[in-house]
């Protein structure tokens, strides 16, 4: 099969084409796994963190990509007897051959530890991530654990569904963790793949909430206003309203400092980023306790997603007609998509057509 492979940890600055388009052997299935013919794979900022070593894959080469839409393979000729048996077994759990499903960042978790048992499988110490710990969807085929694939609602096309699987699901978790109530003020720092969906979700779930969008990028500010934001401006601009919750999706520290200044008493900042870059970390040394932390302000990160986040969000997206803005790229142009993401040329989500 054809796949885009990451063979070494590098920086996009030194190497603008970190992935190579190669012919590889298809995945070999183990018990309980299904084979997918991939049709679309979303491109996520986390892929930059993987390539540049901020959350490095444990083995190389690896196929990146954790917003995968595909169809469960029907062709028995490609399956061994054990694999056919596995597929037959998974029909019982509502998954069948030919079905359109998605695979998200959560590839598996142990299912037995206290985090898993409490419904927080995203915090499991044995959490495995798609496209990092196991091969992902920048390829024609991939395998996945049958109980970790998610049926896609009919109203969503493949390209619409792909970005929802990460950006949407983690945005959903972020909004949940923000504790936002209807009528309150929500701030969004950064307006890429995830936060533009959070804006749509927040407007649907909390029709009386006001949403303030902070972005360094003028076209993102205009984009936010066109999607119904109540205010949009630069990260250092002040909308003159105290915010009850802020969701930060930027890779740097400046917005964290700015968000803390704008939170009102008891406000909560949710940082939706798997890693932060080191470049402007010194702003943290200048934190002003009275204005940025006093009055019970909180900072909380959001880590990974659970299967429930993915499924609840797909349901919500179908109900509320939440569809992402997206741009399509050919699989072999994945490097271009990643580079544009790194350079901040983001308008909505980026999707690879496989």
Neighbouring C-beta atoms of residue 312, cutoff 10 Å: 15
Which C-beta is closer to Zn ion: that of 262 or that of 342? 342
Asked if residue 272 binds Zn ion (CB under 5 A), the reply is: no
User: Per residue, what are the HEC states of the chain?
Assistant: CEEEEECCCCCCCCCCCCEEEEECCCCCCCCCEEEEEEEEEEECHHHHHHHCCCCCCCCCCECCCCCEEEEECCCHHHCCHHHHHHHHHHHCCCCCCCCEEEECCEEECCCCCHHHHCCCHHHCCCCEEECCCECCCCECEEEEEHHHEEECCCCCCHHHHHHHHHHHHHHHHHHHHCCCCCCCEEEEECCCCCHHHHHHHHHHHCCCCEEEEECCCHHHHHHHHHCCCCEEECCCCCCCCCEEEEEECCCCCHHHHHHHHHEEEEEEEEECCCCCCCCCHHHHHHCCHHHHHCCCCEEEECCCCCHHHHHHHHHHHHHHCCCCCEEEEEHHHHHHHHHHHHCCCCCCEEEEEC
Between 145 and 297, name the residue whose CB sits nearer to Zn ion. Answer: 145
The binding track of 82-111 with respect to Zn ion, each residue x by CB under 5 A or -, is ---------------------------xx-
Determine, following the binding rule CB under 5 A, whether residue 349 of this chain makes contact with Zn ion: no
Indicate the residue among 46 and 292 with the shorter CB distance to Zn ion: 46
Report the alpha-carbon distance of residue 39 to residue 352 in Å, rounded.
8
- Choose between 2 and 55: whose C-beta lies nearer to Zn ion: 55
Among 36, 166, 180, 245, binds Zn ion (CB under 5 A): 166
Pick between residue 123 and residue 339 the one whose CB is nearest to Zn ion.
Answer: 123
CB of 193 vs Zn ion, minimal distance in Å = 8
Burial class (CB in 10 A: 0-12, 13-18, 19+), 280: middle
Nearer to Zn ion, 260 or 349 (CB): 349
**CB closer to Zn ion, 124 vs 310:** 124
Minimum distance, C-beta of residue 116 to Zn ion, in the bound complex (Å): 3
Give the binding-site size for Zn ion (rule: CB under 5 A): 8
- Please, what is the minimum distance in Å from the beta carbon of residue 304 to Zn ion? 10
Residue 43 beta carbon to Zn ion: minimum distance, rounded to whole angstroms: 9
User: How is residue 88 written in tokens?
Assistant: 């037959």
Residue closer to Zn ion by CB (options 111, 234) is: 111
Both tokens of residue 213? 């969008």
- Compute the least distance from the CB of residue 114 to Zn ion, in Å: 8
Would you count residue 317 as binding Zn ion (CB under 5 A)?
A: no
x/- string (CB under 5 A) for Zn ion, residues 110-149?
x--x--x-------x-------------------------
Shortest spacing between CB 205 and Zn ion, in angstroms: 22
Q: Which residues contact 306 (CB under 8 A, 6 or more apart)?
A: 106, 119, 120, 121, 122, 173
Task: Name the segment binding Zn ion (CB under 5 A); options: 48-56, 165-173, 184-192, 308-316.
Answer: 165-173
In the complex, the smallest distance separating the C-beta of residue 344 from Zn ion, rounded to whole angstroms, is 17
Residues 28-67, mask of contacts with Zn ion (x by CB under 5 A): ----------------x-x---------------------
Shortest CB 79 distance to Zn ion, Å: 29
Name the residue nearer to Zn ion (CB basis): 241 or 301: 301
CB of 108 to Zn ion, least distance (A): 9
Interacting residues toward Zn ion by CB under 5 A: 44, 46, 109-110, 113, 116, 124, 166
């Amino acid at each position: 099969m054809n796949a885009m492979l990451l063979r070494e940890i590098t920086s996009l600055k030194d190497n603008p084409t970190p992935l190579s388009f190669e012919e590889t052997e298809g995945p070999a299935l183990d018990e309980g796994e299904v084979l997918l013919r991939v049709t679309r794979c979303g491109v996520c900022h986390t892929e930059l963190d993987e390539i540049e070593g901020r959350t490095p894959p444990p083995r190389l080469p690896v196929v990146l990509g954790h917003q995968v839409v595909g169809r469960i393979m029907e062709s028995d000729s490609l399956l061994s007897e054990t694999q056919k048996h596995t597929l037959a077994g998974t029909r019982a759990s509502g998954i069948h051959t030919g079905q359109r499903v998605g695979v998200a960042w959560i590839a598996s978790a142990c299912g037995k530890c206290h985090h898993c048992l409490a419904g927080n499988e995203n915090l499991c110490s044995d959490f495995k991530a798609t496209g990092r710990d196991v091969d992902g969807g920048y390829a024609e085929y991939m395998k996945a654990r049958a109980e970790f694939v998610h049926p896609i609602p009919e109203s969503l096309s493949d390209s619409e569904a792909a970005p929802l699987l990460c950006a949407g699901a983690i945005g959903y978790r972020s909004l949940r963790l923000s504790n936002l109530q209807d009528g309150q003020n929500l701030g969004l720092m950064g307006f890429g793949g995830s936060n533009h969906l959070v804006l749509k979700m927040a407007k649907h779930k909390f029709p009386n909430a006001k949403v303030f969008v902070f972005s360094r990028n003028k076209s993102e500010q205009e984009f936010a206003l066109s999607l119904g934001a109540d205010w949009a401006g630069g990260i250092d601009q002040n909308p003159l309203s105290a915010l009850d919750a802020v969701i930060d999706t930027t890779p740097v520290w400046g917005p964290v400092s700015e968000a803390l200044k704008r939170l009102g008493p008891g406000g909560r900042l949710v940082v939706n980023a798997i890693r932060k870059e080191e470049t402007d970390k010194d702003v943290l040394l200048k934190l002003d306790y009275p204005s940025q932390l006093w009055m019970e302000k909180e900072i909380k990160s959001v880590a990974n997603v659970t299967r429930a986040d993915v499924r609840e969000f797909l349901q919500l997206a179908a109900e509320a007609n939440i569809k992402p803005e997206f741009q399509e790229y050919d699989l072999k142009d994945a490097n271009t998509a990643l580079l544009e993401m790194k350079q901040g040329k983001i308008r909505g989500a980026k999707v690879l057509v496989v």
